[in-house]
Amino acid sequence: MDHPSAVLYLEHDGKVLLVDSEGNGPQKPVMNNTGNTKFRFPTESEVTAMGIKWSVKNTFNILGIQVFKAHPEIEWPKEWAWKDECISDDCVHPIARESIYRSIHRLVSKVMVLNAQGKVLMGKIERGHFVGHWTLPGGYMDHDEHPASGCVREAFEEMGIHIELRDNAPIISQRIFTNEGISFVSFTYQANWDGEDSEIKLKENEISKFEWLSPSEAISRAVSGFDVAALRHL
C-alpha cells in the first residue's frame, strides 16, 4: 500500500478518522484482525473534500512521513474508529498505529522527600533519560498503579527508604519533549522523612549518589522540567 508523505491524524474523544487507499472513509478496523494493510490516515485534501475543518495541535515525523495531530471541528464522530481498536488490526497502516501509540500519555510519578531542615533528597542517575544528572526519586508508573503509590514504591526502590506522603495535592505537569510526539505527564508529591543517611540504600547501577539540597540548590541542579516545576513550589 503506497502511503502519502503527509497525513492528518484527526482525533475526537477517542475516535480517529481512517480512510482506504483511495481516500474513502470513515473506515473501521477490527481488534486482533490479521490481513493486508488497507486503512490509513487521510491527507489534507481528502479531509477537505469531506467538508471537515480542523485545528492542528502538534506535528511529528515517523519514518519520513509527516503526521499532523489535529482536532476536527465537528460533533463527536460516532462512525469513526475507536483508537484502541486501531492498534491491533493489521489492516491499519503502521504509520497510523505508531501515531496512535505515540499519542498515549506516559505517566511518571515522583516525590520531593524533605528532611527536618527543609532540604530535598536528590539522586545522581546512572541510566535512563538523565544519565549523569540529578533528579528527584521517581519513575514510570506501573499499569495498574495510582501515582501516589508509584512514587512511594520508587523511593524505596531507588533510595531504600519508606516514606509517607504529605496531604498536599500532587503537582501535575505535561510536556512533549521531542519531535516524536510522545507526551509525558508527571505527578510530583511531597513527603517528610526523618531517618538517618546510613539508612539510605541506593539502587545499584541506577543511582550513583545522593545529596540533601536546599530547594534553590535542587532547582539549579535539576535537568528535568518536571522536577524544576515541582521544586519551585517549595
CATH 3.90.79.10: does it fit domain 106-231?
yes
CA 129 to chain centre: 13
pLDDT in tens, 47-62: 999 999 999 998 989 9
pTM here is: 0.84
Percent of the chain whose predicted confidence (pLDDT) is above 90: 82
Amino acid at 159: M
Task: At 185, list the grid cell.
Answer: 505527564
pLDDT at 2: 84
> Would you kindly state where each structural domain of the chain is located, as residue ranges?
6-102, 106-231
Backbone angles phi, psi at 44, to 5 degrees: -60, -45
- Given a cut of 80, whether residue 23 has pLDDT beyond it is yes
pLDDT tens-digit series, residues 177-234: 777 788 899 999 999 999 999 999 999 999 999 999 999 999 999 999 999 999 999 9
Cell numbers at 116, concatenated = 527536618
Task: Say if CB 222 and CB 124 are below 8 A apart.
Answer: no
